[in-house]
Amino acid sequence: MIDDLVVFRQTVEARFASPALAREGAPLRRSSRRVSQEAQNPDGEPVVAGASSFLKRTQNEEPPGASLLLPSDIDRGPARSKARVVADNYVAERRSSWGVREYHELRGEEYPGPMGTEVRYKVYQDGLEVMGLELRVEVDSAGATAETGNNYLPMGRADLSQPELAPDEAVRRSGIVEETDVASAAMSAHRVLFAGSGSDEPEVGFSVSFDGDTGASSAIVRAADGQPLARNFARR
């Protein structure tokens, strides 16, 4: 993830949460919002801590259809490890109390380590990654879970219908590369949502890679006007 997101995240935290919300491992306030349709299991029962039907399942038992986390078919199926199933259940129990919006998907990636497996959940809206939001859960060899990172913020839904520049024009206006390098940088561009600009909802942008003065670098530029939103300067 782009290093500069740490700086931009402070602005968003001031708008949407107390410092305790964004601090890694900090306890989170419970939300009194009603459970959304996406946060219900196939039987129509709310998936929240305290729901008896959910708590009767063992930690290593897979949630029905894995729909507790994802509205789509992405990231489901028998390929998930036991640690991943435990982490999914842990997050599913807390999705409502964390205030995870119904339009946000959580897609997990496993990172095994000497102390256990860390599952990092990236946040997506309408198939686009929301850069700057992430959840992390550690599962040890005994199946015990611990929240190792949570900077999720219940932001508004990004408007994907607004006019956008073509990737090459956005890169050209950003000024992050010389004119002769615009085409090659634009070829790497892919649409993302950026949660660190201080807006009430993520902004649509292009994540691009290019050769900087000291090596390969990356940046996010706003799709609407090419304004640079974040940049990672490579270090030799």
Q: Could you tell me the pLDDT band of residue 213, with boundaries at 50, 70 and 90?
A: low
pTM over cut 0.85: no
Residue 45: pLDDT band with limits 50, 70, 90: very low
Half-sphere exposure of residue 171: CA atoms within 13 angstroms, side-chain side: 25
Looking from the CA of 147 toward its CB, the CA atoms found within 13 Å total 22
Structure tokens belonging to residue 71: 């509205």
Domain ranges of the chain: 18-150, 167-232
The pLDDT assigned to 215 comes to 65
Distance from first CA to last CA of the chain, Å, rounded? 18
**Segment 107-127 mean pLDDT:** 93
pLDDT: is 10 or 108 the higher one? 108
Q: Quick check: 141 pLDDT over 50?
A: yes
Of residues 215 and 167, the one with the higher pLDDT is 167
Report the pLDDT averaged over residues 60-82: 50
Q: What is the pLDDT of residue 233?
A: 62
Tell me what pLDDT residue 123 has. 95
SS3 at position 131:
strand
Q: In the structure encoding, which two tokens stand for residue 208, read together?
A: 């691009």
Is residue 53 over pLDDT 50?
no
Task: Choose from 6-15, 20-29, 48-57, 103-112 the range with maximum mean pLDDT.
Answer: 103-112
Closest CA to 194 of 178, 170, 215, 168: 170
